[in-house]
Structure 1
Amino acid sequence: MERVWWLLPLLVALVVGGLCPLAGTLLLVQRRLFLVNLVSHAVLPGLAIALALRIDPGVGGVISGLAGALLAERFSGGSRPGQPGDEAVLNTVLAGFLGLGVLLIPLLGIRVDLEAVLFGDLLAAAPVDLWRSLMALAAMVLLLGFRYRHYVYLGVDPLGAASAGLPVQRLRLLLTFVTAFTVVSAMTAVGVVLVIGLMGAPALLALPGASSLRQALWRSAGLGTLLSGGGFLLAIQPWVNLPPGPLIGVLCLLLLPLQLARR
């Protein structure tokens, strides 16, 4: 068993690496990728409350992340992203939820490893982390399976989608929920901060030249799997010996020159 101690963390890294870019690609074509940044910080209050109540932290994180995203969309442009003042609203909600989470830790008298929450700890992955990641992946696959054409329309022409009678707000709410679930499931692998890069970088490289959204999703998921799994395997090498999460984040950064070259 000692020879395969790395198998469970590797499986978590591979699942998360394929999952995160799927959500990132859908959000990128809708010009809502900043939602990942918001949700990843808004999960902290829910995590703190869940730990205090001794329930699954993932449940609290998803609820809190979803609440932060809904609050931001309520006070911003909502159905028309990119309106003046939207960035100010998003940043204010982000800072408020992050500050609330930090305050709740001493107020509730709980102990939270903030470094692990923010930057991940793949080496400490447990079977429950793998199951949570697989459940988030299943939710994403079901969402794409039943609503793929709707998300294509929503990404190309959101106003036309609304005029055609598509449930735009419901579609965005479903994607927001799955995004929050994805962020929580990725906490063990890369943390709530570095998950932003894993959602964004593969999507940026996959979209140019893609003939369809489906092709872009496949490309981004494959690239994310290589980044996450390869980053983990590289990090545990004796001559490297670095934390896997931050290393995966650096590998995401190194993709940007490739994206510029493709342009």
Structure 2
Amino acid sequence: MSELDLWLVPLLMSLLIGVLCPVTGTLLVTQRRVLQANLISHAVLPGVAIAVGFGVDPAIGGVISGLLGSLAAERMQRGQPAGQEAVINTVLAGFLGLGVLLIPVLNIRLDLEALLFGDLLIVDWSDFYKVLVAAAAMALLLLTRYRQLVFLGVDPEGAEASGLPVRSLQLVQALVTSMVIVSAMSAVGVILVIGLLCAPVLPGLCRVSSLRAAMLQSSLVGLALSGVGFLVAVVLNLPPGPLIGVVCMVLLCIPRLRFADAT
């Protein structure tokens, strides 16, 4: 990589995930499925470990593993209607534990710190292209299923009663969410990505008039958060991923931006 690429790629990467993650998060927040994203972000570890062990692109293993974790939780929740959050957290812990165990079993070298918290300063063009692929998948989902996603967010019971293929739609959304999380993995890690999925969505959410407007607003906020976090990290010589996570939390501490129903 040239000297220009050493700074250009991380900057472009931070800005792109700053837009993509909030768009994804808007769907999850409006459908009250944020916990599923947290599950997916932890469930990618076994797939990444297996992919590294067999010489496959870790992103492929991570997406498959994240989707399997989501499917496992969905299936187990059917028999536990009163403890759905407990089921999700149990599956999350199980997949994360499995991933940690697979590292010595497969005798592989895996930088857990970079996986969990990311390292924007070492990303390259291949990482950027993965984010573009995830962005294309999200764009395709929105272009083809926008009205159904709105219906699902506003009235999930009514959507299912009307014959909308809710489970199929949620499965596709889980797949795209896995792609987004895994593509952002190298930049902010699978733990800190939750901040970019959620924080930009919350300010002013109740003031917007449509899902499209909510996505636009959250993407602009996410773009600002990522840009500021990256630039401040470079100036202070700090890790960009963790600093972006802190900036996301600081955003929620601003009284006028916290929750829209306060106005």
Normalising by structure 1, report the TM-score. Answer: 0.95
Preserved contact between residue 22 and residue 217 of structure 1 (Cα < 8 Å):
yes
Letter in 1 for 2:241: G
Preserved contact between residue 204 and residue 259 of structure 2 (Cα < 8 Å):
no
CA shift for structure 1 position 207: 1.4
Moved over 6 A (4+): none
Partner of 2:217: 219
* Correspondence list, 1:108-257, <5 A: 108-237=106-235, 240-257=236-253
Residues in 2 aligned to 1:46 and 1:261: alpha-carbon distance in whole angstroms? 37
1:7 aligns with 2:3: no
CA shift for structure 1 position 220: 0.7
Preserved contact between residue 22 and residue 197 of structure 2 (Cα < 8 Å):
yes
CA shift for structure 1 position 97: 0.2
SS at match of 1:5: helix
Length, aligned pairs only: 258
Preserved contact between residue 206 and residue 217 of structure 1 (Cα < 8 Å):
no
Per-residue displacement from partner, 1:8-63 (whole Å, max 9, x unpaired)?
11111111111111111101111111111100000000000000010100000000
1:76 aligns with 2:80: no
SS at match of 1:111: coil
Partner of 1:260: 258
* Correspondence list, 1:50-129, <5 A: 50-77=51-78, 83-129=81-127
Residues in 2 aligned to 1:70 and 1:236: alpha-carbon distance in whole angstroms? 39
What is the aligned-residue RMSD (CA, Å)? 1.4
CA shift for structure 1 position 83: 4.2
Residues in 2 aligned to 1:16 and 1:231: alpha-carbon distance in whole angstroms? 12
CA shift for structure 1 position 185: 0.3
Structure 2 residues not aligned, in runs of 5+? none
Structure 1 residues not aligned, in runs of 5+? none
Residues in 1 aligned to 2:259 and 2:199: alpha-carbon distance in whole angstroms? 14
Residues in 2 aligned to 1:232 and 1:214: alpha-carbon distance in whole angstroms? 27
Normalising by structure 2, report the TM-score. Answer: 0.95
Preserved contact between residue 47 and residue 99 of structure 2 (Cα < 8 Å):
yes
Percent same amino acid among aligned pairs? 58
Residues in 1 aligned to 2:136 and 2:156: alpha-carbon distance in whole angstroms? 26
Residues in 2 aligned to 1:236 and 1:189: alpha-carbon distance in whole angstroms? 14
> Which range moved further: 19-28 or 200-209?
200-209
Letter in 1 for 2:68: A
